[in-house]
């Protein structure tokens, strides 16, 4: 089940974020990469995600995604702690020993989500709504 990109918020570095109320009043953030960024990279070959439990800081890298042509850092939009990572994207297929990044390529707002973060501390990157983010992307083309 994919999220509606129009209802998400975006960092200028192309991560999307869904902020929800979690258990005990904590804010939970689901973070992924925008379709625009995936399309710009194409031919993804590697994804590096942190271990659950690791702290992240707004505006600081928490992982990297690599295509045939280049490697890009993934930036956390919020301060907090990684509580879950999308294991489907980083677990090698036992037969081929390759990870399958197709969900990230074809469904970045659904099966291609990256991490869930328990939001702690106040730090937060400037977040754009869909229209503003799309305008930024259109201008960069």
Tokens, residue 138 = 């259109």
42, 72 contact by CB (below 8 A): no
3-class secondary structure, 138: helix
Span near other proteins by CB under 8 A; candidates 6-14, 16-24, 64-72, 107-115? 64-72
For the beta carbon of residue 68, count every other beta carbon within 10 angstroms: 9
Does 42 engage in binding with other proteins (CB under 8 A)?
yes
Does 48 engage in binding with other proteins (CB under 8 A)?
yes
3-class secondary structure, 136: helix
20 or 43: whose CB is closer to other proteins?
43
Of residues 86-125, those binding other proteins (CB under 8 A): 98-99
Q: Could you list the residues that contact other proteins (CB under 8 A)? A: 42-43, 45-46, 48, 64, 66, 68-69, 71, 98-99
């Amino acid at each position: 089940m994919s999220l509606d990109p129009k209802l998400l918020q975006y960092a200028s570095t192309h991560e999307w974020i869904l902020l929800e109320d979690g258990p005990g009043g904590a804010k939970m953030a689901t973070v992924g990469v925008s379709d625009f960024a995936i399309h710009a990279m194409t031919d993804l070959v590697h994804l590096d995600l942190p271990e659950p439990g690791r702290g992240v800081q707004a505006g600081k890298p928490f992982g990297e995604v690599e295509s045939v042509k280049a490697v890009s850092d993934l930036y956390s939009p919020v301060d907090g702690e990684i509580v879950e990572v999308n294991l489907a994207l980083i677990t090698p297929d036992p037969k081929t020993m390759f990870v399958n990044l197709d969900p990230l390529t074809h469904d970045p707002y659904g099966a291609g989500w990256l991490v869930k973060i328990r939001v702690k501390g106040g730090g937060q990157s400037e977040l754009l709504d869909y229209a503003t983010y799309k305008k930024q992307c259109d201008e960069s083309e």
